[in-house]
Amino acid sequence: NDFEARFRIPHLTDVLHDAVSTPVSSDFAEGYPSDEEWHGYINNNDRVLLKVIHYSSPTSAGAECIDPGWFTVLGPRKIYFKPEDVKAAIVTCGGLCPGLNDVIRQIVITLEIYGVKKIVGIPFGYRGFSDSNLAEMPLSRKVVQNIHLSGGSLLGVSRGGPTVSDIVDSMEERGINMLFVLGGNGTHAGANAIHEECRKRRLKVAVVGVPKTIDNDILLMDKTFGFDTAVEEAQRAINSAYIEAHSAYHGIGIVKLMGRSSGFIAMQASLASGQIDICLIPEVPFNLHGPHGVLNHLKYLLERKGSAVVCVAEELGRLDLLEKTNATDASGNTVLGDIGVYIQQETKKFFKGTGFPADVKYIDPTYMIRACRANASDGFSALFLVKMLYLLIYTHMFWQVHGAFAGYSGITVGICNTHYVYFPIPEVIAQPKVVDPNSRMWHRCLTSTGQPDFI
């Protein structure tokens, strides 16, 4: 009918038809149009270039000047597995990030469109594979229809959990042959290990990651879902800090934002708000005390304009300022002392010592930001990642079975140069992406705050 003709995405129509009505085997099924016959399919030679700008020298590019790389475009490919043979599982690990529910919802809806009947959620991260008290959650469009209207994860999240071998044992027991793993660097390291283990056991299992990091700290990707929402919410916190500081006599507002080793949220929120006088990120060293330190500059700001607002990222780089605990969380990540609280206390002490009155207010909006519902932009990118993702899964299985495309094993999805592409997991989690102190963006931030070097 007209509606069908006008609104159904052509890719979906064709692939769905193939998926449902063509008897397929893991071998290339007869009756499939070849790439040449139907140009709606993405060809594996369709690629996106990592960098569009050619810098003539590392100085003009900053430290980010790396060799241009090519990435395979996401999109419809031929499918190789029968949807009725699929049991798909979704798991969310690590911390919360706006958009998790959007991704879960979209995975479920898309799998259903493909005719997959067995879709389950693994509760509370990898832990759900081993904890007998945690039953897997049957998922359907009905269950997930409205979950994107609230933040958090329908499935719950956790850190730590069973060994990779135990996870794969559990997947075999449950008959899971498709695993969607939503999480950050740790989760992806896990996903890659699960994938490797499945290959070792010669299981026809597809493991694919969806990068979840509010900090936008995944290498090679333009932006990850959750980041936009975080910046937007961070701006609200900054605005409150500004109002508090501005309305007080010699008011100082301090806002601590997420970013363990990457200051993207702090930098972008500072820039966007236009209300920050001092932005401190892990990538750029600073002194608190001393003639060129942050505290002296705060005093100067109070004298000159009566109030000041500071934005500080979590600062893994400044562990030297914090009490050494050597503590780690269940996943083995270093537990950070609270840099925001530290700066607040030092600021109070400093002004008390100088006899110069200052009214210091501290805001830590971390959990409010993480638990937010995704904004339109993040919801959109979550949706797109998944729309493209599931088509990959089928192909991916094929690749695994035949080992023909071994180079693509352990992949995740993301945006490169505004296009959605596949990334190899090990490369994107090799180290966190960080703000380049020589970049134009950081210099714009410095121009906007007017802050000097604190060294």
Is 131 considered catalytic here? Answer: no
Told to check if 189 binds ligand ATP by CB under 6 A, we report: yes
In angstroms, the Cα distances linking 318 to 207, 287, 312, 348, 385 are 36, 10, 11, 20, 35
With beta carbons less than 8 A apart as the criterion, state whether 187 and 181 touch.
Answer: yes
Report, in Å, the least distance between residue 86 CB and Mg ion: 29
Shortest Å, Cβ 331 to ligand ATP: 3
Work out whether 187 is an interface residue with ligand ATP (CB under 6 A): yes
Q: Which stretch binds Mg ion (CB under 5 A): 77-85, 177-185, 394-402, 424-432?
A: 177-185
Backbone phi and psi for residue 307, each to the nearest 5 degrees, phi listed first: -155, 165
Which of 270, 331, 400, 449 is close enough to bind ligand ATP by CB under 6 A? Answer: 331
User: What's the rounded Cα separation, in Å, for the pair 112 and 110?
Assistant: 5
Q: Which two tokens stand for residue 239?
A: 């605005």
Contacts with ligand ATP by CB under 6 A: the residue count is 20
Q: Which does residue 451 touch among Mg ion, ligand ATP, none (CB within 5 to 8 A, set by kind)?
A: none
Amino acid found at 407: G
The torsion angle over the Cα atoms of residues 380, 382, 385 and 391, rounded to 10 degrees, is -100
Integer Cα distance of 339 and 318 in angstroms: 8
x/- map, 52-91, ligand ATP, by CB under 6 A:
----------------------------------------
Q: Which of 116, 98, 229 is nearest to 180 (CA)?
A: 116
Cα dihedral 62, 64, 67, 73 in deg (nearest 10): -140
Examine residue 263 and tell whether it contacts Mg ion (CB under 5 A).
no
Min separation Cβ 213 and Mg ion, Å: 7
Choose between 189 and 441: whose C-beta lies nearer to Mg ion: 189
Question: How far, CA to CA in Å, does 15 sit from each of 21, 27, 396?
Answer: 10, 16, 15
Closer Cβ to ligand ATP, 94 or 379, answer by number: 94
> Do the beta carbons of residue 84 and residue 117 sit within 8 Å?
yes
Among the listed residues 240, 333, 377, 439, the single contact to ligand ATP using CB under 6 A:
333
In the complex with ligand ATP, the residue whose CB is nearer, 83 or 317, is: 317
* 93 makes contact with ligand ATP (CB under 6 A): yes
DSSP-assigned beta bridge partners for residue 254: 310, 362
Q: Shortest approach of Mg ion to residue 183 CB, angstroms?
A: 8
Near Mg ion by CB under 5 A: residue from 98, 184, 253, 379: 184
Least Å from the CB of residue 40 to ligand ATP: 35
**CB-neighbour burial class of residue 60 (10 A; exposed 0-12, middle 13-18, buried 19+):** exposed
One-letter amino acid identity for 70? W
- Residue 316 in contact with ligand ATP, rule: CB under 6 A: no
Beta carbon nearer to ligand ATP, 93 or 179 = 93
- Distance (Å, whole) CA 347 – CA 345: 5
Radius of gyration of the CA atoms of the chain, in A: 24
Burial of 168: CB neighbours in 10 Å, binned 0-12, 13-18, 19+: buried
- Asked if residue 213 binds ligand ATP (CB under 6 A), the reply is yes
CB of 225 to ligand ATP, least distance (A): 12
Residue that the structure tokens 């892990």 belong to: 282
Q: 189 is in the binding site of which of Mg ion, ligand ATP, none (Cβ under 5 to 8 A by kind)? A: ligand ATP
216 belongs to the binding site for Mg ion (CB under 5 A): no
Q: Residue 420 and residue 75: Cα distance in Å, rounded?
A: 8
Nearer Cβ to ligand ATP, position 164 or 284?
164
Q: Does 186 bind Mg ion (CB under 5 A)?
A: yes
Helices (H), 22-118: 58-61, 100-113
CB of 149 or CB of 327, closer to Mg ion:
327
Interacting span for ligand ATP (CB under 6 A) from 57-65, 158-166, 197-205, 340-348: 158-166
Q: Does residue 185 interact with Mg ion by CB under 5 A?
A: yes
- Does residue 449 interact with Mg ion by CB under 5 A? no
Check residue 126 for interaction with ligand ATP (CB under 6 A). yes
| H-state helical runs in 310-439 | 339-354, 366-370, 376-402, 425-428
Which does residue 331 bind out of ligand ATP, Mg ion, none, counting CB within 5 to 8 angstroms by kind? Answer: ligand ATP
Q: Which stretch binds ligand ATP (CB under 6 A): 9-17, 57-65, 134-142, 157-165?
A: 157-165
Of the residues 102, 215, 217, 378, only one is catalytic, namely 215
414 interacts with Mg ion by CB under 5 A: no
Nearest Cα neighbor of 371 from 224, 153, 102, 104 is 153
Catalytic residues: 215
Q: Which residues are at the interface with Mg ion (CB under 5 A)?
A: 184-186
Q: Which residues are at the interface with ligand ATP (CB under 6 A)?
A: 93-95, 125-126, 159-161, 164, 183-187, 189-190, 193, 213, 331, 333
